[in-house]
Amino acid sequence: MTVEIHAHSVDPTAKPAGRIRQKNEEAIIQAAEEEFAKHGFKGTSMNTIAQNVGLPKANLHYYFSNKLGLYQAVLVNILELWDNTFNTLTVDDDPATALAGYIRAKMEFSRRHPKASRIYAMEVISGGEHLSQMLNQDYQAWFRGRAAVFEAWSAAGKMDPVDPVHLIFLLWGSTQHYADFASQICRVTGRSRLVKADYEEAAEQLTSIILKGCGLTPPK
């Protein structure tokens, strides 16, 4: 079975779900994030999620037939958040402006959706069994398309030649670090928690470091 990720869809004109259904699914996914982040996949109860979202369990199963389907929806949701933003990069963009905007967007996702990011990280660390249906050939083709943008920028002399695969991994890992390892950051820096200003400062520093490594001047 293949799990569709709309950010990688070959048919961008596909109609989204109805507004009411979409709203209910979003509420369920948000409640599920809380439980999966606290208890993991095995320790999470569909009944508890139903109670937290204020739906009878039978209604919950109308939207997601089982826990695995809901867990996959949570994983797909974070991929949608991350990858839709990456889709906006084009060969015609100014690399410095585009990369700076992407880093800021990813940092904002880490600030606003830390639990979803941690669930994804835990899934990868545990072997990524449930990601096999998502990180498939379609995903690989989408990834190659993103890498081609960086290659085109380098070929046009807009930025220094860099390996686009490692650059993308650096962009992903550095920005998601502030969600996945927030507790470590707080302990090392002596903060009780990370606030918006911390993420903004981190985004500025990452932008400077990464762009200069690509031979680019960070935009003011």
pLDDT at 19: 80
User: What gap in Å lies between CA 111 and CA 180, rounded to an integer?
Assistant: 10
Do 113 and 128 fall within a single domain? yes
Do 35 and 107 fall within a single domain? no
Do 154 and 203 fall within a single domain? yes
Do 23 and 92 fall within a single domain? no
Do 56 and 97 fall within a single domain? no
Whole-prediction pTM? 0.85
User: What gap in Å lies between CA 119 and CA 210, rounded to an integer?
Assistant: 26
Do 133 and 30 fall within a single domain? no
Do 102 and 193 fall within a single domain? yes
Classify residue 1: in a domain, yes or no: no
> What's the structural domain count of the chain?
2
Do 93 and 38 fall within a single domain? no
Alpha-carbon dihedral of residues 31, 34, 40, 43, nearest 10 degrees?
A: -60
Classify residue 2: in a domain, yes or no: no
Classify residue 220: in a domain, yes or no: no
Alpha-carbon dihedral of residues 131, 37, 66, 134, nearest 10 degrees?
A: -10
Do 96 and 190 fall within a single domain? yes
Classify residue 58: in a domain, yes or no: yes
Do 159 and 79 fall within a single domain? yes
Phi and psi at residue 169, to the nearest 5°: -60, -40
Do 87 and 36 fall within a single domain? no
pLDDT at 12: 46
Expressed as residue numbers, the domain containing 152 is 71-214
Do 112 and 39 fall within a single domain? no
User: What gap in Å lies between CA 213 and CA 217, rounded to an integer?
Assistant: 10
pLDDT in tens for each of the 220 residues of the chain? Answer: 345 555 555 444 444 557 888 888 989 999 999 999 999 899 999 999 999 999 888 889 899 999 999 999 999 988 998 999 899 899 999 999 999 999 999 999 999 999 999 999 999 999 998 898 889 999 999 999 999 999 999 999 999 999 999 999 999 999 999 999 999 999 999 999 999 999 999 999 999 999 999 999 999 8
CATH of the domain at 35: 1.10.10.60
What's 131's DSSP letter?
G
